[in-house]
Amino acid sequence: MSYHIYLAGEIHSDWRAELEKQISEELDVEFIFSGPQENHEKSDAIGETILGTQPDLLYRDIQSSKINNLRTQLFLRKADLVIAYFGEKFRQWNTASDVSLALAKNKPVILIRPENLHHPLKELSERANVTVDTIPKAVQVLKYLFD
Amino acid sequence: MSYHIYLAGEIHSDWRAELEKQISEELDVEFIFSGPQENHEKSDAIGETILGTQPDLLYRDIQSSKINNLRTQLFLRKADLVIAYFGEKFRQWNTASDVSLALAKNKPVILIRPENLHHPLKELSERANVTVDTIPKAVQVLKYLFD
Amino acid sequence: MSYHIYLAGEIHSDWRAELEKQISEELDVEFIFSGPQENHEKSDAIGETILGTQPDLLYRDIQSSKINNLRTQLFLRKADLVIAYFGEKFRQWNTASDVSLALAKNKPVILIRPENLHHPLKELSERANVTVDTIPKAVQVLKYLFD
Amino acid sequence: MSYHIYLAGEIHSDWRAELEKQISEELDVEFIFSGPQENHEKSDAIGETILGTQPDLLYRDIQSSKINNLRTQLFLRKADLVIAYFGEKFRQWNTASDVSLALAKNKPVILIRPENLHHPLKELSERANVTVDTIPKAVQVLKYLFD
Amino acid sequence: MSYHIYLAGEIHSDWRAELEKQISEELDVEFIFSGPQENHEKSDAIGETILGTQPDLLYRDIQSSKINNLRTQLFLRKADLVIAYFGEKFRQWNTASDVSLALAKNKPVILIRPENLHHPLKELSERANVTVDTIPKAVQVLKYLFD
Amino acid sequence: MSYHIYLAGEIHSDWRAELEKQISEELDVEFIFSGPQENHEKSDAIGETILGTQPDLLYRDIQSSKINNLRTQLFLRKADLVIAYFGEKFRQWNTASDVSLALAKNKPVILIRPENLHHPLKELSERANVTVDTIPKAVQVLKYLFD
Amino acid sequence: MSYHIYLAGEIHSDWRAELEKQISEELDVEFIFSGPQENHEKSDAIGETILGTQPDLLYRDIQSSKINNLRTQLFLRKADLVIAYFGEKFRQWNTASDVSLALAKNKPVILIRPENLHHPLKELSERANVTVDTIPKAVQVLKYLFD
Amino acid sequence: MSYHIYLAGEIHSDWRAELEKQISEELDVEFIFSGPQENHEKSDAIGETILGTQPDLLYRDIQSSKINNLRTQLFLRKADLVIAYFGEKFRQWNTASDVSLALAKNKPVILIRPENLHHPLKELSERANVTVDTIPKAVQVLKYLFD
């Protein structure tokens, strides 16, 4: 039996690779990982890549967002667990949205965020199941669940 | 017959009062409005106000968030429509969360945000029904619905 | 106690007025009626009316559709019963969509369509509760329900 | 892990075979494909094939539709993703219905339709996740999701 | 505040009138009562009454059932509580179906049946909340709830 | 990929074995079959078998029904498709209930019943997807779905 | 507009009357209150009161529980908010169950329990929205919501 | 095909090992078992183990509960069947909560409890499917389901 984990959040660091590496070292369980497009340029351009040049930046974003939302919805529906990483940079409102859609579907959620982001994330932290401030701590939570 | 509108988002301006005023001038429909606690100090302090002094700021926030989430959940469940306002200030991740919980419950959502916030809100805008950049435009949408 | 009836479908005839008139003559029950924007020009233009001129017809339609979908979702959620009218003209795919969203939400649906549209509507007719070919027959169904 | 894709829509061209061929060339993921009965005669006759001659064309259609709806419901429930193709011919109201039932069940949907069908499909396009005008573009979307 | 009670089951006795009379004598709560068409001839004929003569009895029943199911679905959705009466006569499979649809929607159900029908109803009785063998006992249950 | 079919209904004939045999001959698809306890004595006695002698027949039935309902609920939840057989004998209210719980969960349902049971089953037939009068016809329906 | 509050929990003190009194003094909002049967003897005896003497205490409890569960289900479905009081006495597993059913239905929950019950209630407290240790504090929470 | 059984309840005895042993001896079906953390110290300490020392026992419990709730939610969502054991010791309110969340999700539940706990568990027993007083009887129930 395998578990599907959706990795929401920051795409400007290699936290997913780091998390997956630590999990594979610590746990002997089959996990399937999914998440958003991590290539930022590709993510912002996908609408025009597929549909051709759009009349302006607003429509360029509209078309890319539709495809990115399709991706998120497809994989989030399959997820047994969601781990979301909030970094210092960017507003990441789509991360807050992904987490909340998962919560509304009764999917367990672990938040990772630096301590100093605690205050702006306080309501979301209390809606999620668990909040930690580092990747190794998230791995420890998984270790507690699956050992 | 009345409609319940939940007003999510920024609490540091009088946009709710402005919106309600314009709606009452434009439309002859009974609306019930609800939203988060708009007194920021009161909102941040409510945990300690009720439960007493907490060990530090993190725990102070945990207790206040629980009560603020209770408030949001209570009124969001009653809402027929959600209007969310994203301002320039603050990260407003709880606003993105409120909107997404409403979307997951199949509630129609109108986003209001200044044009320059378009890019970071692009996925959320495409999940919501309609996005406009001013309060009068949101009122025009309501006018179109209820005239 | 009142019942909310959503009147989906053709906007190029006065079938709604005719149906409401006959219902008020035949039944002593309070009904609240809602439906799509019946002014076709207004419906197609609403995106630009609110958001300003769009780059071309495709984007004009995208913005109008978002607002029309908001309207449909808002009122369809309130409906206890849906009556949909398919006329000879236009493809009316949004009518088929409205009906199906209502069916998925377990809302009872009455279809009205001319006999000669029977074949292309056959799957939808069997998903709906009842299909009739004239407005007076739909009124007779309501009479049977509420007498 | 495999993904189930339901292919709704036109049955009068070989678009499904074409799409499946391109997907298998482009992607190394196991997909299970399902869809409506593609043999039009068989689809229209299935009611009488199983239940015997019906008294008239209307009942012939009623009985066939019930069996076709059973088929759609069975496979649509299993689908992780729906791709719907709207062609020039026929009104395809059942396609609009299949898509909408899938959307109501929170399943991601890609629409394929020729540009000139844009206007009558505009509301449905905005309810779906992504709309493209050719099969290769739909394949590019899948490539973006699964690469 | 009023409560909507759907009265499923036997239509060949005046149990509904008797139940409503006893409730009005015992309780000072506003109840809205609904149920199936109690005029058996009218119920069996409604399809032909509205749609005209059908080819034979089977198709006559198909059309009447669709309209009766519409009625049941409309009122069952509004019900806060379902009371079902199983009499000696007839197989009343639609009553068992109404009750089960209500249970699946998490609506509380009281069954009334003569003691000697206990065995064939045993699974349904255990799915329902409460089973009694007379109308006055059902009224006593309501009295316990609302006093 | 396999499909789970729940076989509701009559336990006093070997229709399940017959259906499974015909399916295996006609179709090259992996099916998992489940259904109620087919040994009538065992089914009626299971409460006392596990919990010991009960004070009377009514409690004997109550305890057996609880265990039979557990069985039905467990397997019905797993089912992709339900086939229900109504025979001449017994009132089979639990079969009508199983079918209706499945319908409420949006599971496709095929009814098998002799022609002469058509009238008492008419509402349930119209709630189900397809009704046939023999096992071979039900197998033909499956053949149409899975060929 | 009124709000329905279900008051789960201890029936061996007058906490409900006290809470309702304080709420009416503090808030100018219309609340409808419901809860379990507060007369313990009546609650334990209701099965026999309605159905007659049962064979022994176990069956006496089975029949009373069915009627008490009916009551809880009826009113809990109507509730906008649940307030649960855990006292020192009794195991109150049905209170923990009522709260959890409400949480599963996405209803906001406030727990009241003496500080010394914190440890055994810790998981439930974190599933609920807010936990306080006195009635006046629960009233303060309501005051914060509705002022 | 395998079935996932969540084993809720007492963690101070080896009932899970005993149950799993008896099941493996009696049944030739693949079961996946999950349940809460059975190491009580580890369970109470997990919050501090991962997040570091908390300011007091209350916050120590809050943080541990969040992680224990995450674990329960993750595995309960996967469960096809829940078996809950109530022992003499401890109040086990989280067990009553786990069972009720499972019931609200329409998952079948078997309760095991010593006869003398019958009265305080009576409402929960009637909400669950089956209640027995020993592990071997629970195994007999599974044998009846899967033989």
- Per-residue pLDDT tens over the stretch C106-146: 999 999 999 999 999 999 999 999 999 999 999 999 999 99
Neighbours of chain B (3+ CB pairs under 8 A): A, C, G, H
What are phi and psi for residue D4, nearest 5 degrees?
Answer: -100, 120
CA distances from H28 to H24, H25, H146 (A): 7, 8, 9
Instruction: State yes or no: pLDDT of G90 exceeds 90.
Output: no
pLDDT at D138: 98
Which is it for strands C130-132 and C109-112: parallel, antiparallel or unpaired?
parallel
pLDDT at G88: 87
Q: Which of C89, C99, C123 to mutate to test the interface with D (most CBs of D within 10 A)?
A: C123
Q: Which of B107, B109, B129 to mutate to test the interface with C (most CBs of C within 10 A)?
A: B129
Class of domain F2-38+78-146: alpha beta
Q: How confident is the model at residue C90 (pLDDT cuts 50, 70, 90)?
A: confident
pLDDT at F91: 86
Which residues of chain E are at the C interface, by a Cβ-Cβ cutoff of 8 Å?
2, 4, 32, 37, 42, 46, 49-51, 66-67, 69-71, 73-74, 77-78
Mean pLDDT of chain G: 97
pLDDT at B132: 98
Contacts with H120 from chain G: Cβ below 8 Å: 90-93
Residues F25-63: b if buried by 16+ CB within 10 A, e if exposed: eeeeeebebbbbbeeeeebbebbebbbeebeeebbbbbb
Contacts with G141 from chain B: Cβ below 8 Å: 50, 67, 70
Mean pLDDT of chain E: 97
Chains H and G touch (3+ CB pairs under 8 A): yes
Residue of D nearest to A46 (CA): D144
Chains F and D touch (3+ CB pairs under 8 A): yes
Supply the ipTM of this predicted assembly: 0.96
3-state SS track over chain G: CEEEEEEEECCCCCHHHHHHHHHHHHCCCEEEEECCCCCHHHHHHHHHHHHCCCCCHHHHHHHHHHHHHHHHHHHHHHCCEEEEECCCCCCCHHHHHHHHHHHHCCCCEEEECCHHHCCCCHHHHHHCCEEECCHHHHHHHHHHHHC
Instruction: State yes or no: pLDDT of A41 exceeds 90.
Output: yes
Q: Across the interface, which of D3, D106, D140 has its CB nearest the CB of A50?
A: D140
CA nearest to H96, candidates C142, G93, B125, E121: G93
Mean pLDDT of chain B: 97
> pLDDT of B27-80, one tens digit each?
999 999 999 999 999 999 999 999 999 999 999 999 999 999 999 999 999 999
Q: Tokens standing for E6?
A: 């759907």
| Largest distance between two CA atoms of chain D | 53
CA distances from C95 to C10, C11, G34 (A): 8, 10, 42
Residue of H nearest to A142 (CA): H71
**Coil, strand or helix: which one is A89?**
coil
pLDDT at F12: 87
**Per-residue pLDDT for chain D (147 aa), expressed as one digit of tens each?**
899 999 999 998 999 999 999 999 999 999 999 999 999 999 999 999 999 999 999 999 999 999 999 999 999 999 999 999 999 888 899 999 999 999 999 999 999 999 999 999 999 999 999 999 999 999 999 999 998
What whole-number distance in Å separates Cα of residue E91 and Cα of residue H139?
36
> pLDDT of A67-106, one tens digit each?
999 999 999 999 999 999 999 888 899 999 999 999 999 9
CB contact under 8 A, G129 and B32: no
Chains B and H touch (3+ CB pairs under 8 A): yes
Q: Which residues of chain H have a pLDDT value below 50?
A: none
> pLDDT of E2-58, one tens digit each?
999 999 999 989 999 999 999 999 999 999 999 999 999 999 999 999 999 999 999
> pLDDT of F79-116, one tens digit each?
999 999 999 888 899 999 999 999 999 999 999 999 99
Task: Please enumerate in sequence order all residues whose Cβ is within 8 A of that of G33, keeping only pairs 6 or more positions apart, or say none.
Answer: G4, G5, G6, G7, G16, G20
> pLDDT of A43-75, one tens digit each?
999 999 999 999 999 999 999 999 999 999 999
How many Cβ pairs within 8 Å bridge chains B and C? 43
Contacts with H130 from chain F: Cβ below 8 Å: 66-67, 70
What whole-number distance in Å separates Cα of residue F102 and Cα of residue F104?
5
Residue of G nearest to F59 (CA): G59
CA angle at C140 for the pair C138 and C146, rounded to the nearest 5°: 105
CB contact under 8 A, B49 and G140: yes
Instruction: State yes or no: pLDDT of G1 exceeds 90.
Output: no
Instruction: State yes or no: pLDDT of C88 exceeds 90.
Output: no
> pLDDT of G57-87, one tens digit each?
999 999 999 999 999 999 999 999 999 999 9
Helices (H), B8-128: 15-26, 40-51, 57-78, 93-104, 122-127
Locate the domains of chain A by residue range.
2-38+78-146
Q: Look at the pTM and tell me if it is higher than 0.95.
A: yes
Instruction: State yes or no: pLDDT of F1 exceeds 90.
Output: no
User: What percent of chain B stands above pLDDT 90?
Assistant: 95
Q: Which of C29, C131, C145, C146 to mutate to test the interface with E (most CBs of E within 10 A)?
A: C145
Q: How confident is the model at residue G12 (pLDDT cuts 50, 70, 90)?
A: confident
Residue of H nearest to F67 (CA): H130
CA distances from B128 to A8, B96, D106, G86 (A): 19, 10, 14, 41
Task: Please enumerate in sequence order all residues whose Cβ is within 8 A of that of E120, keeping only pairs 6 or more positions apart, or say none.
Answer: F90, F91, F92, F93
